[in-house]
Amino acid sequence: MQEKSVCVFCGAREGARAAYGAAADAMGAGLAEAGWRLVYGAGDVGLMGRTARAAQAAGGATFGVIPEHLVRWEVGKTDLNRYIVTETMHERKKVMFMNCDAIVVLPGGAGSLDEFFELLTWRQLNLHAKPIFLLDIDGYWQPLIHLIDHVIAEGFAEGSVRDFYTVVPDVPAALAALRAALP
């Protein structure tokens, strides 16, 4: 039986709060302890690196995907169980998506937002039904949640778009939601 895989999108930086790094550490370790493979952007910096190192330290399987132009910038982590270098960012997202069963979005910047919105759009268009979880550490994603509510209120999306992702407040809640979604 093939293991379940969870794609984690998150920052290539540490962020302003220690809680973000602690969440990345706990998520990596939690995925490994649950027996799920981490699929992520293959960087060894920021929250990305922390998530992967924690998964590895807990004995978890890791699958990293990085575009050629970011190998130096994000310090491609080549000691993963599987390490793929793509030509483009779009190809990176596609490979990550195709190799996961669920998605968790930790705090991050423009790249994490791009990844979230692409998968949210694909879900809205019925191109997939994979669960998407926003890990709202210390309320990080509240402005995004309010923006989505605004988009809905202004008539640019149906209210059902809220059903395509689940907001979880912390890593234990994210792991519980993943256990329910990945029987």
pLDDT at 2 over 70: no
For the chain, the structural domain boundaries read: 5-178
pLDDT tens-digit profile of 98-130?
Answer: 999 999 999 999 999 999 999 999 999 999 999
Q: Provide the token pair at 177.
A: 């939601």
At 122 the pLDDT is 96
Alpha carbon 86 to its chain's center: 18
Tell me the mean pLDDT in the region 73-89: 91
CA–CA gap between residue 109 and residue 132 (Å, rounded):
17
User: 51 near 28, Cβ under 8 Å?
Assistant: yes
Considering the four listed CATH numbers 3.30.110.40, 3.40.50.450, 3.20.20.140, 3.30.429.10, the one that applies to the domain covering 5-178 is 3.40.50.450
Q: What is the pTM of this model?
A: 0.95
pLDDT at 52 over 70: yes
Where residue 66 falls among pLDDT bands split at 50, 70, 90?
very high
